[in-house]
Chain A
Amino acid sequence: MLEVRNLSIAFKASVGLKSAVRNIDFIIRPGEILGLVGESGSGKTITSLGVMGLLPPNAVVTGGEVLVDGVDILKLPPADLRKLRGRHIAMIFQDPMASLDPIFTCGDQIVEAILLHEPIGRANARRKARELLEKVLISDPDRAMRSYPHELSGGQCQRIMIAMAVACRPRIIIADEPTTALDVTVQKQVLELLRELNGEVGAAILLITHDLGVIYEVADRVVVMYAGDKMEEATTADLFAAPRSDYSRALIDSMPSLGRNAERLPVIERDPSGKVSSVRPEPRPRPASAAPVLSEGDRPLLEIRDLCKSYWIKPSPLAVPVEMRAVDRVSLTVAPRTTLGLVGESGCGKSTLSRAVIRLYKPDSGQILFKGKDIAALSDKEMRPFRREIAMVFQNPYGSLNPRQTVAQLVEAPMVVFADGDAAKRQRRVRSLLEAVGLPATAAQKYPHEFSGGQRQRIAIARALALNPSLVICDEAVSALDVSVQAQVLNLLKDLQAEFDLTYLFISHDLSVVEHVSDTVAVMQKGRIVEYGPVAEIFGNPREPYTRMLLDAVPTVGSMRGGKAAP
């Protein structure tokens, strides 16, 4: 049993301490799953590291107790605490592939974890490791034993991590965003596995996540955290039926969920007194200055015909390379001022497709008709005028902005590349773009690290709009953001679409987001489009089994899976 009492953690700042987590308390009983939910910066990960005694050197526990079976582990000497880790308290991390040492085989790493706490001999440990891999339902346990982490998929690596975590039958398992990096279908399997194993091992599980759908499906009780404070603790059913705190209500509201295709997503706002509320902002009116909506008839802005792109890979060192069709005879059309949502699991070819459209790759065959002109085979020079028409917003707002440039320089860059106007005109354009994406004018002189993830994505969007493109490709543009920030950015994208006559190719693995933003949807599997049509049709009445499976795997509030009763 894990009991956390009044735990407070602070970061060492240049002057004194900066409080990160204040007076958190909760209890997890054996066999129970407690969900800890909150947005980034809410203190949920730092709480879990505090419980493990693994706080980074710049963080200190300023008060409270962490009781494991009645013993306060915060008072234990480091050596004793270390012996508890892995044996009594195990942890599962967000990025499974990065959490395994790349130069040891998976088998060796599980064996190592067993031998650390149970000196049963290498041969016995190997046998046990193999049994564990069978238990976590890995497809080929013998192969997995001798594989290096990079040879396995993310889902398989997470199974390895889970096998390692349950190896010594710990009493407490802390799972920090265990499925965030995984596809929905894999997420579903991993969550089911965690639940099942827990029935057997009887550990107390602390499940940390930002995804309310995941909480809904597997947690028994929930603790909601916001900005370092515990907002609410409730059973899962109660939380979703009648959230008590304003924050929980706002959080639940701002989540786009399947079948609730509201035009605007509510966002979370906090007034100066600290009171949290959920606000559903009105769409921005189309400015009078905007060009009138032209009726271009039914001519699509983008039409893709029979597009193919292959990679050649060697299955083994001496083998002849075989063709891997990343994009296999894909045909799609996107009408102007609409959004095409492209969904599929990782590796299905959706990013390859988008990069072919923006001509980062040359496709092997097929046509890409942009405003009626085939750009598939253009040379780099011929492609140049089209580059200003097609812009891209990438997934990671931390990696896609040069940290050494100011926001003004970043947003101005495309105009400089295309020698658009003089410096003064460009500066005016930067100001109006920043305003359009909802950033203050003072942002222009700052650097990317001074902004939050959501703000950075706004900067990236402003940059994408700098040359007045007609097509914007959003490659997982909101996947790295918290739900409430995601809601803000999604609202922004809709506003901008109306304001600037934008057409979006919106790529995401998140089906609820795609349902929310798209007019038409294409479902991609192994390089092919398996289903394609208006959003209501695809989500309301999917014909393909693959689409049904994807939809079914999305953890959704209000569903009745995971053997739980409806709230």
Chain B
Amino acid sequence: MNASIAGALLLVARKLLTAIIQLFVVATLIFSVMYIMPGDPVLLLLGADSNPSPEAIVSMRSQLGLDQPVLSQYFVWLWNALHLDFGKSLTNGYPVANYVMQNLPRTLELAFAAIIIAALIGVPLGIAAALKRGSTRDTVLTSIATIGISVPVYIMGTLLVLFFSLKLGWLPASGYTDISRNVFEHFRKLALPALALGLGLAASIARMTRSSVLEILGRDFVRALRAKGMPERRIIWQHVLRNAAIPIVTIIGLQLGNLMGGTVLVEAMFNWPGLSTLLVGAVSARNYPLVQGAMLAIAAAFILINLVVELLYSLLDPRIRRKRS
């Protein structure tokens, strides 16, 4: 028993260490990309058109620390990032961290809402299709799923807006209301963007669930469970689904990770002031510290989600739990 607890701790420690290394590598990449990119932030800040004096440029450069050697800039930046200090926005001087802290939860909320919708629709549909393999039900569900995967998110979004807000008038077409101001309105505005994202994802989750459940249903131990006299319903819920869960959890985790940067279109379409909106704005304004901060936040969220998914595997599958350690 002690050995297995030690094993579990070791596994968690190892995964954590991997995550930290990943984050470090990503941070380095983000820093170097910004350094290599064309365009001088100083000129941008002072306004290239106003023809700033060389003295002004030099003083701004040293004020921003840009006159230091690259390596020392890098370490200062890294050290500050470690303390959640990503510098100040070049446009208005507000701390980048404040922006990130304000917008990150909104993107996370949208992503989680989308993935919950996707899982709630996709997993049951996939199971339903698998249990009646080859039937009309299966064919219909699988076809719908295929269509669902192929519809781009902006078309899905447009259709949803057309139907739910313009035709039925049930839901607002776009916008954001902070939850502290009006809880009901907040969720009403979350509904359409989350659905637009979630429906497409539901389709791929449904397909993965179907094939995973089918694979497990064909295993010898399912036949052995039937021979034990276990009711079919219990075989499905207790044994088949738990075994089928690993690939399903994988795809859900991957999708959730992808949503961290993949909500751009939907955020733009529905005026959702999330991290992607912030990032797009910052890139076009060459607001480098803000770009770096937003990218780092997205990467960190992605890595964290993957860490949670990998730890979930070991909970689900004892073979992974013991073999890896």
Contact = CB atoms under 8 A, between A and B. Distances in A.
A99 B224 contact: yes
Contacts of B316: 103
A58 to B, nearest CB: 11
B10 interface: yes
B36 interface: no
B228 interface: yes
A122 to B, nearest CB: 15
A117 B229 CA distance: 8
B163 to A, nearest CB: 40
Contact of B224 (A84, A91, A148, A151): A91
Contact of A318 (B6, B220, B226, B317): B6
Contacts of B242: 103
Interface string B200-227: 0000000000000000000111011111
A100 B219 CA distance: 10
Interface string B233-253: 000000100110000000000
B279 to A, nearest CB: 41
B95 interface: no
Interface in A79-118: 82-87, 90-91, 93, 95, 98-105, 112-113, 116-117
Contacts of A99: 220-221, 223-224
B229 A148 contact: no
Interface string A306-336: 0000000000111000000000000000000
Nearest to A114: B228
Contacts of B11: 317
A489 B224 CA distance: 33
Interface residues of B, number: 27
A148 B227 CA distance: 20
B243 A103 contact: yes
Given A151-B322, A317-B10, A86 B228 contact: yes
Contact of A116 (B4, B230, B243, B325): B230
Contact size class for A?
Answer: 20 to 34
A269 B162 CA distance: 73
Contact of A85 (B220, B226, B239, B243): B226
Contact of B319 (A86, A93, A150, A316): A150
Interface string B16-45: 000000000000000000000000000000
Nearest to A48: B227
A566 interface: no
A54 B223 contact: yes
B3 A85 contact: no
B7 interface: yes
B93 interface: no
B228 A113 contact: yes
B225 A101 contact: yes
B318 interface: yes
A517 interface: no
A317 B7 contact: yes
Contacts of B325: 317
B47 interface: no
A52 interface: yes
Contacts of B54: none
Most buried by B among A83, A84, A87, A148: A148
Contacts of A161: 224
A317 B14 CA distance: 12
Contact of A54 (B10, B227, B319): B227
A102 B7 contact: no
A164 interface: yes
B231 A318 contact: no
A82 B231 contact: yes
B238 to A, nearest CB: 8
B220 A98 contact: yes
A442 to B, nearest CB: 33
A117 B4 CA distance: 33
B220 to A, nearest CB: 4
Considering the complex of A and B, which 5 residue pairs feature the smallest CB-CB distances, nearest first?
A86-B229, A317-B7, A85-B229, A317-B325, A98-B220
Interface of B: 3-4, 6-7, 10-11, 219-221, 223-231, 239, 242-243, 316-319, 322, 325
